[in-house]
Amino acid sequence: MELIYLDNAATTSIFPEVVLVMQETLKENYGNPSSVHAVGRTAKAKVESARKYIAQQLGAQPQEIIFTSGGTEGDNTILQGAVQYLGVKHIISSPIEHHAVLHPLTHMAAQGLITLHMVKVLPNGFPDMHDLDRLLTSIPDKKLVSLMHINNEVGSMIDLNAVGDLCHQHNALFHSDAVQSIGHYQLQLGELPLDFAVASAHKFHGPKGVGFMYVRKKTGLGGLLLGGAQERGMRAGTEAVHNIVGMEEALRMSYQTLDEDTAKLKELKSYCLSALQEALPGTVFNGACYDMNLSTHTLVNARLPFDEKKAQLLTFHLDLQGICCSKGSACQSGSESGSHVLQTLLSPNENKFPSLRFSFAATNTKDEIDKLVSVLAAYAKS
Ligand SMILES: Cc1ncc(COP(=O)(O)O)c(C=O)c1O
C-alpha cells in the first residue's frame, strides 16, 4: 500500500540532495572544527560557511546564528539562559506554545526562578494584544515575552512586528519559536523587533538533530552546557558538521523554490478545506486555519463530525488505510493527554469531536487529498 504522508509539521522527509551532501561531509570533513590543523580548519570552514549562508538568507549577521541540536534545545537555551545570564525575573508566554517552551517555563516557575504570566489567547489562536499590553504594563522588572510565530497545531501566525514592537515599548525582550516558519517563510530576522528565535532543520527537509538559534548581538546570552567554548560559548560540544551542512543545503533548496512551493501549498490547502467541508458537512476548522492570511499554508486542523465511538478508532482507521496525519501535535503522539492547544481554544463540547491535523509538503498532491477525503467519507458512512 502506498503511504500518504500528511504529517509534515511533525517532520519532513529529507531531500535526497541533502543526504548526498551529508554523506560527502561525513567522509571528507571528519575534522574537529576546533582543531588548528588543516583537517580541522576545513571542517571549521564548512561550519562557518553554513553560518554565513543561513545568516544572509535570514537578514542576520553570522555571529547571531548559533547552531544547536534543534528547536527544543534552542528554546531551552534562550529561556533558561535569559534567566541565568540576563536577570530576567518575569516571563510572559501563552498556554498554546509548544512544550519545548512551556515545560522549561513551568519548571523554572516551580523552582521559584521566575514568575510566569500567561497571556489570554483568543479562540482563533492569537494572543489577546490588550491583555499582553496589560501584563507588560504591570511588570516593572526585567521581563521576556515568548510567543511562537506559527502555532504547530492550528497554524495561526502572529504578527511579529506588532508583538515585538509592543514588547520593546515596554523594555521586554522578545523570543519567538519560529520552528514552523523558517524554511517555509523567508523571515528577515534582523529587521524584525526580535531578540531571539529558533529553527529546526527537520521541519524543512533537513536532518533531525540540528537547528539554530538567532541571538541578537550584544544581548549577553550564555549557554546551558558547560565544557567547551564552541558557538561563542552559547553551545558547548563539538559541532555536528554533517548536520550543519545538511541544514544549510535544506534551507538553500527550500528557499530556492519558495515562491512556487508557496503557491502550490496554498492551492492544496484551499482544496483540502473545501473537499473536507463538501464531503463531511459539519466539519469545522480550528483556530484561524480556514484563513490563509492569518494562518500558515502548510497545515489544516479540522474538527470532524464523528460521534465518540467513531472518534475513538479514527486515527487507527486512517493508519490502516495508509494515511499518516496527527491528532493534535505529533510531539504528543503516544500520549493520552490530548492536545493542550485544543483544550485552550475549544469548549469541552467542541472538544468532544475529534480533531486531526493534516500538514503538507510541496510534494503532496490533490489526488492524495481526494484519497484522504474519500477514506473519511466512507468511514462516516460505515
Ligand atoms: C513549534 C515547535 N517548537 C519546537 C519543536 C521542537 O523541535 P525539535 O524537534 O527540533 O526539538 C517543534 C517540533 O515539533 C515545534 O513544532
Catalytic-residue membership of 331: yes
| Residue whose entry in the numeric block shows the C-alpha cell 567547551 | 228
Q: Alpha-carbon distance 211 to 208, whole Å?
A: 8
CA-nearest of 348, 353, 380, 332 to 152 is 332
Q: Quick check: CB of 72 below 6 Å from ligand 1?
A: yes
Q: Alpha-carbon distance 143 to 158, whole Å?
A: 20
Q: Quick check: CB of 180 below 6 Å from ligand 1?
A: yes
CA-nearest of 212, 362, 253, 185 to 15 is 253
Question: Per 3-state DSSP, what percentage of the chain is helix, strand, and coil (rounded to 5)?
Answer: 45, 15, 40
- Secondary structure, 3-state, 237-287: CCCCHHHHHHHHHHHHHHHHCHHHHHHHHHHHHHHHHHHHHHHCCCCEECC
Mutate which of 152, 198, 326, 329 for ligand 1? The one with the most ligand atoms within 8 Å of its CB, which is 152
Residue ranges of domains in the chain? 4-12+258-381, 16-255
Q: Alpha-carbon distance 45 to 40, whole Å?
A: 9
Superfamily of domain 4-12+258-381: Aspartate Aminotransferase, domain 1 (3.90.1150.10)
pLDDT of residue 336: 53
Q: Quick check: CB of 287 below 6 Å from ligand 1?
A: no
Q: Quick check: CB of 104 below 6 Å from ligand 1?
A: no
Q: What beta strand segments (E) does the chain contain?
A: 4-5, 65-68, 90-93, 115-118, 143-146, 173-177, 196-200, 211-215, 284-285, 299-303, 323-324, 355-359
Q: How many A from CA of 70 to the centre of ligand 1?
A: 7
Residue 144 identity: L
Q: Quick check: CB of 158 below 6 Å from ligand 1?
A: no
Percent of the chain residues topping a pLDDT of 90 = 96
Average pLDDT over residues 227-250: 97
Mutate which of 98, 151, 157, 202 for ligand 1? The one with the most ligand atoms within 8 Å of its CB, which is 98
- C-alpha cell read off for 146: 515568548
Write down the pTM of the prediction: 0.96
Q: Quick check: CB of 152 below 6 Å from ligand 1?
A: yes
Average pLDDT over residues 73-97: 98
Q: Provide the pairing of β-strand 143-146 with 90-93.
A: parallel
Read off the DSSP letter of residue 190: G
Q: Which CATH class is domain 16-255?
A: alpha beta
Q: Residue of the nearest CA to atom 16 in ligand 1?
A: 152
Q: Quick check: CB of 331 below 6 Å from ligand 1?
A: yes
Q: Provide the pairing of β-strand 4-5 with 323-324.
A: parallel
User: Does the pLDDT at position 331 exceed 50?
Assistant: no
| pLDDT per residue as tens digits for the range 343-381 | 999 999 999 999 999 999 999 999 999 999 999 999 999
Mutate which of 105, 154, 331, 332 for ligand 1? The one with the most ligand atoms within 8 Å of its CB, which is 331
Compute and round to an integer the Cα radius of gyration of the chain.
21
| pLDDT per residue as tens digits for the range 168-208 | 999 999 999 999 999 999 999 999 999 999 999 999 999 99
Question: Using DSSP, how many helices (H) and how many strands (E) does the chain show?
Answer: 11, 12
User: Which atom of ligand 1 lies closest to the CA of 201?
Assistant: 10
Read off the DSSP letter of residue 13: P
User: Which atom of ligand 1 lies closest to the CA of 97?
Assistant: 1
Query: Which one of the listed residues 167, 272, 325, 331 is annotated catalytic?
Result: 331
Sign of the Cα torsion 126, 176, 131, 116 reads positive
